Amino acid sequence: MALLQKAVTKPESPLAQDIYRAHRGDRDARGIGSDRRIGPKFLHAGPGYGGSCFPKDTVALIKTAQDHRAPLRIVETVTAVNEQRKRAMARKVVTACGGSVRGKTIALLGLTFKPNTDDMREAPSLAIIRGLQDAGAHVRAYDPVGMPVARTILDGVTFADDAYSCAEGAHALVLVTEWEAFRALDLGRMRDLLVTPILVDLHNVYRADEVRRQGFSYTGVGRPADGEPGGHDRRLAGLEVVSYAKR
């Protein structure tokens, strides 16, 4: 843990660069998850946790600890990093689009904080949408269940009837919530509907090589971006691969 902390705080150090060169996000998660004391369930890539329970409980725990003069630095850091992570996902989309999304339409698939719910509380999509709008993008979104709630809390967003109408005419497609319906998209059809075939997969649902064979520029989480065949990301993308306590 001390070595990892040093790599994070001093990203230009030789140690950090060794970690970058050695890193393969998906493989690391599988390796850690093979330990039965940890398990693989909550080691999937993602844009951060949300919902009604875990965010509220961590904040309450921090406040209780502070009131008793026993601050919980680890929990405080987890909550801070989670908020930073959500905003970083918007920046990841901007980077995938060549550094600017001003005047572009970005299609978001998934709005709820997890699949099989209409719960939008603390959903990563909220921060991602704000970040994209602040960068000048027009956001179009589709969610199988969450749109009635989303319409009441999101301003300036166009809502689509399905995944394909969401993608039509957009400059990038962003998979935000890993609904089962989004795991089997017709990528060829999606490619033809998009103005530019850019897929930003915030849950690593798809295999990067398969998506690229379909003609997409692909960006995942903790995976080498297009143009980075060496597989290390100097911004510590690999160290953000796990999304703890998503459920």
Which residues are part of the catalytic machinery?
53
Which residues, other chains included, contact 27 with Cβ-Cβ below 8 Å and sequence gap of 6+? none
Strand 138-142 to 157-159 pairing: parallel
Which two three-digit tokens encode residue 78?
């987890």
Which residues, other chains included, contact 170 with Cβ-Cβ below 8 Å and sequence gap of 6+? 104, 105, 106, 107, 140, 193, 194, 195
Map residue 107 onto helix, strand or coil.
Answer: strand
Cα radius of gyration (the chain): 18
Which two three-digit tokens encode residue 42?
């909550």
